[in-house]
Amino acid sequence: MYKLIQVKDVVRIPPKMFTMDPKEAAKIVLREAYEGIYDKDEGVILAILDVHEISEGVIIHGDGATYHEAVFDVLVWKPEMHEVVEGEVIDVVPYGAFIRIGPMDGLVHISQLMDDYVVFDEKNAQFVGKEKGYILKLGDAVRARIIAVSEKSKIIRENKIGLTMRQPGLGKFDWIQKEKRKAQSGE
C-alpha cells in the first residue's frame, strides 16, 4: 500500500551546501540518506517529496556542518497482509514465479499458482496447468494476494513477500476473464 507520511528528523548539511537554499540542501541530503531503504514500520521509502520546515542550524564543535530539524513528506510503499496486488512475472524458476509488485518482488510458489496440477516446462520457461491448459510465462500480467511478509533488513532485496494466485479473481488476467465468462454463461 502506498502512503504519504510526514516525518520530523535532524539533517546534517555539509559546508559545501551552505550557499544553497536550506530546504533544497536538506532535500538532497535526505534523499541520499533515506530513498531506497526498507523501514520495518513504514516500508520502502520511495521518495522525499518536499521539505516543509527547517530550523536554524546548530554547529557542533569539531564538525563544520550545521544540524537542522526538518519536517518533510515521504512517499512509502509497505506490503500489507492479504492485500491484493497486480504485477508482472519477471522470472520463472522450477519452484515458482517471481512477480514485480511496485518496488519489490514477491514469490508465488508453484503450489500457489493455480487450482490445477502444475508442471514447469523448463525448455520454454513456463508453467502449464495440466487440466485447464493455463500457461504462465515471463511478462504475463497477474493479480495476486500477499500471504506472507518477512522483514529482515533495511536492504529491500533481503526482505521476502509470499503470494498466492489460487483464489477466485486472482491469477493471470486472461484466466480471470475466462472464469468470468464461464460463470456468466452458466457452465
CA 145 to chain centre: 13
CATH code for the domain of 58: 3.30.1490.120
Q: Which domain holds residue 149?
A: 84-182
Q: Are residues 65 and 106 in the same domain?
A: no
pLDDT, tens digit, 9 for 90 and up, residues 17-27? 999 999 999 99
pLDDT (average), residues 77-96? 94
Q: pTM of the predicted model, to two decimals?
A: 0.80
Q: Are residues 88 and 72 in the same domain?
A: no
> Is pLDDT of 186 > 80?
no
Instruction: Read off the pLDDT band of 174 (50, 70, 90).
Output: very high
What pLDDT is stored for residue 187 in this prediction? 60
Q: Report how far residue 140's alpha carbon sits from residue 88's, in angstroms, rounded to the nearest whole number.
A: 6
Q: Report how far residue 60's alpha carbon sits from residue 66's, in angstroms, rounded to the nearest whole number.
A: 7
- Report the number of distinct structural domains present in the chain: 2
Note whether residue 46 is domain-resident: yes
Q: Report how far residue 187's alpha carbon sits from residue 178's, in angstroms, rounded to the nearest whole number.
A: 11
Q: Report how far residue 156's alpha carbon sits from residue 153's, in angstroms, rounded to the nearest whole number.
A: 7
CATH code for the domain of 172: 2.40.50.140
Q: Are residues 15 and 94 in the same domain?
A: no
Mean pLDDT check: name the lowest of 17-21, 26-30, 36-40: 36-40
pLDDT, tens digit, 9 for 90 and up, residues 100-155? 998 899 999 999 999 889 999 999 999 999 998 899 999 999 999 999 999 888 88
| The amino acid at 56 | E
- Can you name the residues that pair with 128 across neighbouring β-strands? 119, 135
> Is pLDDT of 161 > 80?
yes
Note whether residue 187 is domain-resident: no
Q: Nearest-CA neighbor of 120 among 136, 104, 132?
A: 136
Note whether residue 71 is domain-resident: yes
Contact 111, 162 (CB under 8 A): no
pLDDT (average), residues 160-179? 92
What pLDDT is stored for residue 66 in this prediction? 93
Do β-strands 104-109 and 160-164 pair in parallel, antiparallel, or remain unpaired?
Answer: parallel
